[in-house]
């Protein structure tokens, strides 16, 4: 998916990926049969492929050349530090509300990420 990113811009591809992730989460929330699960899981894999590598490249593009490794380190540290609380939040929502709640929460957060990307990130390399 790097070719898409090169052609249309990383910002557009990442924003689209975040929105597609939101759709996948809503699908997991609303559909509960096995064929839908298989289809959604495959679609999740595609969305993950769209987002994962492009995030790192985007961070690299936004970084000063001399601070590129530091920027990538900070990015991955942030991802790591948010992984534990996000799992705890998802577990809490699942346990206290319903199995739908973590997917709705993830969908909302993904939409928030897409909006943040559009509003907050201003770059000629988008």
Model-level pTM?
0.89
> Any idea what the CATH number is for the domain that residue 94 is in?
1.20.1250.20
Joined together, the tokens standing for residue 40 give 């959604």
The average pLDDT across 67-90 equals: 95
Say how many domains are in the chain.
1
Does 42 map to a domain? yes
What residues contact 102, with CB distance under 8 A and at least 6 apart? 89, 90, 91, 93, 94
33: left (phi over 0), alpha (psi -120 to 50) or beta: beta
Q: Residue 103 domain-assigned?
A: yes
| DSSP-assigned states of every residue in 55-73 | HHHHHHHHS-GGGHHHHHH
Confidence of residue 126 (pLDDT cuts 50, 70, 90): very low
Q: Which domain holds residue 94?
A: 2-120
Tens of pLDDT, residue by residue over 78-87, are 999 999 899 9
């Amino acid at each position: 998916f790097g070719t898409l990113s090169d052609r249309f811009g990383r910002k557009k591809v990442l924003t689209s990926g975040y929105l597609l992730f939101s759709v996948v989460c809503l699908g997991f929330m609303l559909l509960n049969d096995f064929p839908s699960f298989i289809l959604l899981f495959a679609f999740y894999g595609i969305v993950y492929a769209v987002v994962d590598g492009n995030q790192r490249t985007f961070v690299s593009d936004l970084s000063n050349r001399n601070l590129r490794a530091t920027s990538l380190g900070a990015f991955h540290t942030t991802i790591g530090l948010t992984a534990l609380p996000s799992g705890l939040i998802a577990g809490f929502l699942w346990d206290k509300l319903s199995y739908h709640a973590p997917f709705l929460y993830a969908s909302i957060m993904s939409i928030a990420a897409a909006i943040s990307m559009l509003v907050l990130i201003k770059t000629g390399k988008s």
